[in-house]
A and B are shown apart, each in its own frame.
Chain A
Amino acid sequence: MTEIVVVIIIVAILVALGFGLIGMVKGGREGSDKMFKSLVTRVTLSVLLFLLVLFSGYMGWIEPNVVMVDAPVAQSPAQK
């Protein structure tokens, strides 16, 4: 469920970024307004997504991709 929400927000961010691009290509005051509003939306959604991912990880709703070195045991020199 959390994964679906995360993906939906990412798609929304891409759409906002896309609208920002359309505003930039259009130019003029109208295009500039459109671009700015879209980019504000994209920044807001991005911060929201970041907080959601961290909170979901903290709550255990999603598991991080922790990268492990395969095989041998890691022992600190102090343990020897």
Chain B
Amino acid sequence: MSEQEYYVPHGTYWPIIGSIGISTLFIGLANQMHGVEWGGSVMGLGFAILVFMMFGWFGQVVNESTNGIYNKQVDRSFRWGMSWFIFSEVMFFAAFFGALFYARALSVPWLGGADNNIFTPDLWNAFSASWHQMAFLAPGTELQSGTVMSFPEVPATGIETATPAMVVDPWGLPALNTGLLLASGVTLTFAHHALRAGHRNQIVGWLVATIALGVAFLGFQVMEYGHAYADGLKLTSGIYGSTFYMLTGFHGFHVTVGAIMLTVILYRVQKGHFDADNHFGFEGVAWYWHFVDVVWLGLFVFVYWL
């Protein structure tokens, strides 16, 4: 392809297939939410169409690339396209971290009567401002850890006592998961180095390690959710529960997508699609993984520690 000619396919049916897939997916979702019987299946069909489109469309782009019909200007377009996608991702997570900061540092203290604002404790006299506001557990509720909630009486006074039970402990799974994800950042960096040095076998090994660490992270995250949920931390557990699940849930979704993208890159490495100088597909996915890694580090520091 000459440097002057910018490759554009003459005709493509993938965009219309994508539109049909998304429409089907959301028609199914909306009906599912309204309790319609066929909602779930239509949603699944829409998802299947979307996956079909991704395989087909992305596969076609990969073929065009390996056939050498892209010039430098097309390469620049891909790079700018990726940067705009990243910009939207940064804004997405910035909004959620912003929500965390706003709720924790401003709105909850205001509701508790801090400052001289119009919000006063008179809103509801039983309200006490607490970031980790949790739902009360009914007596007899058994926690996953085997403990049972009860209202014992202090013998001398006969007054019910209240001692909290630990639900989320930063020293446990969150610290382990941070270690796993950081290790995946290190292995990915080794893969990146091997690619730039032209050592294909090493790239494969480091990429497999990166994907395995990502999958292990997801597995422990599922365990952590099960533990927290069983112990009473839910989406409905006040503002803390909402922001906790929103941030960690969307992050987990991004790790899932990143692991799928890394698997595709692994396949492409084995097929010999990249060399030391031309590997934008790898660079895009690597940056994405580093970004998702940094988001988790922010979560670990701001949600669990500071």
Interface residues of A (CB under 8 A from B): 3, 6, 10, 13-14, 17, 20-21, 24-27, 29, 32, 35-36, 39-40, 42-43, 46-47, 49-50, 53-54, 57, 62, 64-77, 80
Say yes or no: is B168 at the interface (Cβ < 8 Å to chain A): yes
Query: B148's contact among A14, A25, A69, A75, by CB below 8 Å, is which?
Result: A75
Is B166 a contact partner of A46 (Cβ separation < 8 A)?
A: no
Q: Is the CB of A74 within 8 A of B196?
A: no
Please indicate the chain A residues that have their CB under 8 angstroms from the CB of B231 in the complex: 69
Q: Which A residue's beta carbon lies closest to that of B189?
A: A43
Q: Which A residues are CB-close (under 8 A) to B291?
A: 17
CB–CB A42/B167 < 8 A: no
Are the C-beta atoms of A39 and B301 separated by less than 8 Å?
Answer: no
* Size band of the interface chain B makes with A: 35 or more
CB contact between A10 and one of B86, B139, B284, B297 (< 8 Å): that residue: B297
Contact of B186 among A25, A47, A71, A73 (CB under 8 A): A47
Interfacial chain B residues near A50, Cβ < 8 Å: 178-179, 182, 297, 300
Question: 15 extra interchain contacts, Cβ-Cβ under 8 A, other than A24-B283, A24-B284?
Answer: A17-B287, A27-B79, A29-B277, A36-B196, A39-B192, A43-B189, A66-B170, A68-B166, A69-B134, A69-B233, A70-B164, A71-B136, A72-B139, A74-B147, A76-B147
Q: How far is the CB of B270 from chain A (nearest CB, A)?
A: 21
Q: Could you say which residues of chain B place their CB within 8 Å of the CB of A77?
A: 146-148
Distance A39 CA – B195 CA, assembled complex (angstroms): 14
B66: CB under 8 A from chain A?
A: no
| Inter-subunit contact A68/B164 (CB<8 Å) | yes
Interchain Cβ contacts under 8 Å between A and B, 25 examples: A3-B306, A14-B294, A21-B86, A24-B79, A24-B283, A24-B284, A25-B83, A32-B196, A39-B192, A43-B186, A43-B189, A46-B293, A46-B294, A50-B182, A53-B300, A57-B171, A64-B304, A65-B303, A68-B134, A68-B166, A69-B232, A70-B162, A73-B151, A73-B161, A77-B148
